[in-house]
Structure 1
Amino acid sequence: MRRGEMLNKKYSYFWFVFLIFGILYLVLPSVSLLSMGVVEATPLQPPSLIPLPKEVYWGEGTFEIDRDCVTIAYYPQEVDPQVVSLAKDFLLRLGIRKVEVVTHIPSSLDSTALFLGFYSSLKLPPGYGKIASLTFNANIEKKLGEEGYLLSVRKFEGQVVLSLFGGGKAGVFYALQTLKQVVVKEKDSLKIREVKIIDYPSFKARGVVEGSYSPPYSHQERLRMIKFMGENKLNFYLYGPKGDPLIRDAWRKLYSPKQVEEFKEEIEEARKNFVTFGYVISPVKAVTYSSDKSFEKLCRKLDQMYDLGIRYFAVFFDDIPYLLSSEDAQHFSSCALAHAYITNKLYAYLKEKDKEVRLAFCPIDYSGIKPTPYLKIIKEELNKGILIGWTGPDICSKEITSEQAKAIAKVIGQAPNLGDNYPVAGTLGLGPLRNRSKDLYKYVESFLSNPLGRFPSASEIPLMTIADYAWNPENYRPDRSYQTALMHFGGQEAYPYLRLFAEQFQTSPCGFEKPSELSLLKEKFWEDYIKGRDFKESLLALRKEFKRCQEAKEELGKSLKREPFLEEISSYLDKLKDYGELGEFSLNLLEVLEPPKTEAEREKIKTITDSFLQSRIKLKFVLE
């Protein structure tokens, strides 16, 4: 036997042994299942993960990753090269001195190893059929799909082995994002808990539609958003800001060479992060739907975006009146017929270019669950291959249920493309997503969020909770998700002040806000004061919180390494500081003044004090 054949046989034998040993661990029930969820991140304790995986089994072992060398072994045909680069960069940033990358299976393990590949590769050759029946689980493979993964952390031959097996290339990428959250830096060591994770998404399309009336995100803001999406397992970015005149007001105009180059970078960044980049056109001004010239201009515009690599388009007719031009009125009896006509024509044009192209349609009546004359025509006339957008029972929906999704599906004749108008708002809304059905993914085609137009970096806080819901709605808990999102966004040191700040700015048209710790302390103080009880203890607690309001800007400036976010919220931090100062001033007055004799009079004091605080803050904020 030749030396090369002997080496191949040796490598194959090791690989089979590794797979048998490792996958038995993954598939068979663990002897020690400490947690099906997560707990607060502390050294040697299971870290909080977001999005929360479907199945998490923590073992009892705590391992130390070799700081001198880690070997990455992967199948080139199964792992995107940039994912290997990301894995290597991640390990180097952790302080590992040397990272070796190989495309073969080492004959022995001398240090920590990271294995990357497809779950389907765990199918062993025919001669190992009996073993394969123990190691490979077809039901798990079916669950994983393209984006799911199996992650294992265990010891083999005395070394730590990190195994990331994806259902497809996206699954390997997502497994790496979870691995990043599992490693804990502790002084000069890198520690990791023994764990196995079986994970896959519920919603197929999860992401963002940049669609507010605020100015579009800058190129750098959009690149950061796309990278954030990949890290949080969001896979769809729909570009459609109404502040971009070339989408709506000047839709006929082509993008400049500079803008084209920026789109190219954004589309490439999306590809690297397994994000589909889509484009919206909204031909609602200076358009004649029956005109060949208008249609030619529309095709010319979408051709420009197609040539950049975009294969998902959307036509938006939102927020316009039910009107037609005088010329169109001679051809169509309603604007619904005109909208269906031009969209069908565009769909046929795009499909002729490329059968893989997808097209979505946003109707005038994009919210609600009841039939309208407009939607009745759309159901009858629009090509069934075109997706239809919906924002829920309202434009900004306090709740969206499976029953509501089923109701609108009957109205439009298909499952809707859900574009959730949260957290988009004119104000800073930093609370978690709430009141969405756990099984909603069964009745909609997608779950896209419209983020904060003026605050792209701040949007990441609510978007983390949205990513958590969209990946694993069955186990989504808003308050747990919110705590985890704030911890991941700010880190342990910044968390107390970040939470204090974020809790004060949860207002949104969806009405998700819950009482903050500050408001609860105020409520307790006023209850003691009005009822004539001893209020010293509640006053001290409230004063401490007002002090923290005053300290928040300085403390976050020191502990939070997110300059874009700090710039976006600077004026709001000033507002919080002013509120803290006025609150403390009010408490000082109440402390030295003798409380009125009657409960009704003390109630008046509360009303006056609250009015004073709110009016001063509002006036100062408006003037600034």
Structure 2
Amino acid sequence: MPESQALLADDFPYPPQLGKLAGNRREVIMAHTSVSTPLGVIEGFFGRPWSWSARESYASFMAQHGYDFYIYAPKSDAILRRRWQEDWTAAQWSQLLQLRSRYQQAGVKFGVGLSPYELYRQPSADSRVALTRKIESLNRLEPDILCLLFDDMRGDLPELAQRQVELVQTAANTTSASRIVFCPTYYSFDPILEKVFGARPADYWKTLAQGLDSAIDIFWTGPKVCSEHYPEAHLEQVNSLLGRRPFLWDNYPVNDSQKLCQQLRLQAFSKDRAHLEGHLAGHAVNPMNQPYLSQIPLSTLPQAYREGDGYQTEAAFIQACQRLCEPALAERLIEDRPLLQDTGLDALTESQRLHLKNRYQPFADSSVSAQELLNWLSGHYAFDPACLTE
């Protein structure tokens, strides 16, 4: 189990303007860490979802390592996406209530990410009524954060920005959450977004910047959808473009794509993450499909923020393995990281796969991380194209 040495942050500061959106629910909070940027995990990947027990275990993990918030937004939950106007079953609702309770008990903010699929293509009045009804239902979860996510949807609509502004304002007027984060359809300069989702309407970002209340945050993934680095000049450009500091959606260590599912992205966060303080409204990381192996890199992000120039990626990785795993398992993960992350599953020879299975099988009964690794080697996390359309 991880050592409880990291500073806890019971809350993170909310923009003062948000008082007019949240009314008397707005909270005045004292920070318990020297890191002012809110750090969190957004469960926002495609493919094989986490178990409810894994989600609950993250409450204590995040509190122990200095994270401030968790956002429930798995792409596999159709009630948040294609079937968003439906309700969860009684069993699912009970699990969500228990999940929220665990995070409240741990002092970690709990959020929900709603993706009302292409709602902006409906007549404005109808779409606002439908969204209001859904937000009122979500209020029963008492989320601290509401994310309205319009990513991974067609965007080639001339009035796209204005319609999305109206919907975000409807959500803001309805939600009981104290913080609202909006994900636009075009959330990066990456040309792949226009290739897949259609041409971005003229003045899209300018219209969003002018129309959205300054207290509403906007997700941004960086220069690319899966960015390796976040140059200061880029973040300042986005700040000017959006009229506010971006709320970073960091797609590391996520591995849900056809290419990335071949990798176990165990390496610690790169050194540039140690220099993002002051440039962001918040920093949410999207983890791997493997929740427990994800804890190795995830445990290093708050460390990078705290240590600044003194942060060293390789040393942080080694320390994370040793902190989270029994000694023998940690030693093997450190030795094998190049094979697991850099070589990747599809490039491993049969002898290398067999060698790795033999190395980690002895830990299968004592370590869920080892179980995840063995399942990955056996192809249990293979990319399924159907996950993009369900």
Output the TM-score relative to the length of structure 2.
Answer: 0.78
Distance in 2 (CA, whole Å) between partners of 1:551 and 1:290 is 58
Deviations 1:581-621 (A, max 9, x none): xxxxxxxxxxxxxxxxxxxxxxxxxxxxxxxxxxxxxxxxx
2:283 aligns with 447
> Quick check: 2:132–2:170 contact (8 Å CA) kept in 1?
no
> Quick check: 1:251–1:283 contact (8 Å CA) kept in 2?
yes
1:339 aligns with 164
> Quick check: 2:6–2:64 contact (8 Å CA) kept in 1?
no
> Quick check: 1:497–1:552 contact (8 Å CA) kept in 2?
no
Question: Closer, same or farther in 2 for the Cα pair 1:301/1:574, shift >3 Å?
Answer: closer
Paired residues for 1:10-21 under 5 Å: none
Match of 1:298, as an amino acid?
L
SS in 1 for 2:248: strand
1:386 correspondence with 2:190: no
1:434 aligns with 270
> Quick check: 2:118–2:154 contact (8 Å CA) kept in 1?
no
Can you give the 5+ residue segments of structure 1 that lack an aligned partner in the other structure?
Answer: 1-47, 54-82, 84-143, 148-167, 172-199, 325-332, 514-518, 520-545, 576-624
RMSD over aligned Cα, in angstroms? 3.4
1:298 correspondence with 2:131: yes
Question: Closer, same or farther in 2 for the Cα pair 1:438/1:564, shift >3 Å?
Answer: closer
2:16 aligns with none
Distance in 2 (CA, whole Å) between partners of 1:476 and 1:440 is 13
SS in 1 for 2:224: coil
Match of 1:255, as an amino acid?
W
> Quick check: 1:498–1:556 contact (8 Å CA) kept in 2?
no
Q: 1:415 aligns with which of 245, 268, 290?
A: 245
Paired residues for 1:295-334 under 5 Å: 295-324=128-157, 333-334=158-159
Question: Closer, same or farther in 2 for the Cα pair 1:287/1:486, shift >3 Å?
Answer: same
Cα displacement (A) at 1:292: 3.1
1:367 correspondence with 2:178: no
Paired residues for 1:142-153 under 5 Å: none
Question: Closer, same or farther in 2 for the Cα pair 1:169/1:337, shift >3 Å?
Answer: closer
Larger radius of gyration: 1
1:570 correspondence with 2:374: yes
> Quick check: 1:248–1:283 contact (8 Å CA) kept in 2?
yes
> Quick check: 2:40–2:70 contact (8 Å CA) kept in 1?
yes
Cα displacement (A) at 1:568: 1.6
Cα displacement (A) at 1:555: 4.7
> Quick check: 1:203–1:471 contact (8 Å CA) kept in 2?
no
2:386 aligns with none
> Quick check: 2:11–2:107 contact (8 Å CA) kept in 1?
no
1:476 correspondence with 2:311: yes
Distance in 2 (CA, whole Å) between partners of 1:446 and 1:271 is 19
Question: Closer, same or farther in 2 for the Cα pair 1:246/1:507, shift >3 Å?
Answer: farther
1:377 correspondence with 2:213: no
Question: Closer, same or farther in 2 for the Cα pair 1:563/1:476, shift >3 Å?
Answer: same
> Quick check: 1:490–1:498 contact (8 Å CA) kept in 2?
no
> Quick check: 1:229–1:235 contact (8 Å CA) kept in 2?
yes
SS in 2 for 1:204: coil
Distance in 1 (CA, whole Å) between partners of 2:30 and 2:240 is 36
> Quick check: 1:430–1:503 contact (8 Å CA) kept in 2?
no
Cα displacement (A) at 1:313: 0.3
1:179 aligns with none
Cα displacement (A) at 1:365: 1.7
1:458 aligns with 293
> Quick check: 2:153–2:185 contact (8 Å CA) kept in 1?
yes
Cα displacement (A) at 1:405: 1.3
Can you give the 5+ residue segments of structure 2 that lack an aligned partner in the other structure?
Answer: 13-28, 192-199, 256-260, 380-390
Q: 2:58 aligns with which of 212, 225, 236?
A: 225
Match of 1:218, as an amino acid?
S
Distance in 2 (CA, whole Å) between partners of 1:263 and 1:437 is 31
Q: 2:43 aligns with which of 210, 223, 227?
A: 210
> Quick check: 1:278–1:314 contact (8 Å CA) kept in 2?
yes
Cα displacement (A) at 1:573: 5.2
Question: Closer, same or farther in 2 for the Cα pair 1:471/1:260, shift >3 Å?
Answer: farther
SS in 2 for 1:505: helix
Distance in 1 (CA, whole Å) between partners of 2:82 and 2:362 is 43
Question: Closer, same or farther in 2 for the Cα pair 1:470/1:272, shift >3 Å?
Answer: farther
Q: Percent identity?
A: 23
Question: Closer, same or farther in 2 for the Cα pair 1:336/1:574, shift >3 Å?
Answer: closer
SS in 2 for 1:459: helix
> Quick check: 2:10–2:108 contact (8 Å CA) kept in 1?
no
1:18 aligns with none
Cα displacement (A) at 1:299: 2.0
Distance in 1 (CA, whole Å) between partners of 2:306 and 2:91 is 36
Question: Closer, same or farther in 2 for the Cα pair 1:473/1:269, shift >3 Å?
Answer: farther
Distance in 1 (CA, whole Å) between partners of 2:332 and 2:274 is 31
> Quick check: 1:363–1:389 contact (8 Å CA) kept in 2?
yes
Question: Closer, same or farther in 2 for the Cα pair 1:361/1:308, shift >3 Å?
Answer: same
> Quick check: 2:245–2:280 contact (8 Å CA) kept in 1?
yes
Q: 1:234 aligns with which of 67, 74, 86?
A: 67
Cα displacement (A) at 1:424: 0.8
Q: Using CA pairs below 8 Å that are at least 6 residues apart, which structure has the higher relative contact order?
A: 2
1:505 correspondence with 2:309: no
Distance in 2 (CA, whole Å) between partners of 1:250 and 1:462 is 33
> Quick check: 2:37–2:278 contact (8 Å CA) kept in 1?
no
2:106 aligns with 273
Distance in 1 (CA, whole Å) between partners of 2:337 and 2:42 is 23
Question: Closer, same or farther in 2 for the Cα pair 1:435/1:474, shift >3 Å?
Answer: closer
Match of 2:46, as an amino acid?
Y
Distance in 1 (CA, whole Å) between partners of 2:106 and 2:336 is 30
Paired residues for 1:476-495 under 5 Å: 476-495=311-330
2:197 aligns with none
Cα displacement (A) at 1:223: 0.9
> Quick check: 2:65–2:302 contact (8 Å CA) kept in 1?
yes
Question: Closer, same or farther in 2 for the Cα pair 1:146/1:389, shift >3 Å?
Answer: closer
> Quick check: 1:215–1:241 contact (8 Å CA) kept in 2?
no
SS in 2 for 1:457: helix
Cα displacement (A) at 1:295: 2.1
Match of 2:326, as an amino acid?
G
Quick check: 291-300 or 257-266, which moved more?
A: 291-300
Cα displacement (A) at 1:291: 3.6
